[in-house]
Amino acid sequence: MTARSIAAAVASGARSAVSVLDEHLARVGEREDEIHAFNLVTEDKARGQAEAVDAAVTAGEPVGPLAGVPLALKDNMCTRGIPTTCSSKILEGWRPPYDATVVSRLADAGAVFVGKTNLDEFAMGSSTENSAFGPTRNPLDTGRVPGGSSGGSAAAVAANFAPLAIGSDTGGSIRQPAAFCGIVGMKPTYGAVSRYGLIAFGSSLDQVGPFAANVADAAALFDIIAGHDPLDSTSIAGFTPNAVDHLDRGVEGLRVGVVRELCGGAGSVKGLSADVLARTNEAIEALAAAGATVEEVSVPSTTLGLSAYYIVAPAEASSHLARYDGVRYGLRVDAPTTGEMNAATRTTGFGAEVKRRIMLGTYALSAGYYDAFYGKALKVRTMMLRDFASVYENFDVLITPTAPTTAFPFGERSGDPMMMYVNDVCTIPSNLTGHPGISVPFGVGDDGLPVGVQVLAPALQDGLTFQVAAVLEAAADGGGAS
Indicate which residues carry an active-site annotation.
74, 149, 173
Taking residue 372's Cβ as centre, other Cβ atoms within 10 Å add up to: 11
Inter-residue contact 179 to 147 (CB < 8 Å): yes
Inter-residue contact 67 to 11 (CB < 8 Å): yes
Closest CA to 178 of 473, 379, 393, 478: 473
Closest CA to 209 of 269, 250, 251, 167: 167
Report the half-sphere exposure of 66 (CA within 13 A, side-chain side).
Answer: 31
Is residue 312 helix, strand or coil? Answer: helix
Q: CA 120: distance to chain centroid? A: 12
CA atoms of 109 and 117, how far apart (whole Å): 20
Is residue 205 helix, strand or coil? Answer: coil
CA atoms of 297 and 456, how far apart (whole Å): 13
Consecutive H or E run containing 257: strand 255-259
418's CB contacts (< 8 A; 6+ apart) are none
**Could you tell me if residue 271 is left (phi over 0), alpha (psi between -120 and 50 degrees) or otherwise beta?**
left
Is residue 295 helix, strand or coil? Answer: strand
What does residue 400 show for φ and ψ, rounded to 5 degrees?
-150, 170
Question: What Å distances lie between residue 43 and 22, 82, 224, CA to CA?
Answer: 10, 12, 23
CA atoms of 459 and 344, how far apart (whole Å): 43
17's CB contacts (< 8 A; 6+ apart) are 10, 49, 50, 51, 53, 54, 57, 67, 68, 112
Q: Got the DSSP string for 17-61?
A: HHHHHHHHHHHHHHHHHHH--EEEE-HHHHHHHHHHHHHHHHTT-
Taking residue 226's Cβ as centre, other Cβ atoms within 10 Å add up to: 27
Is residue 105 helix, strand or coil? Answer: helix
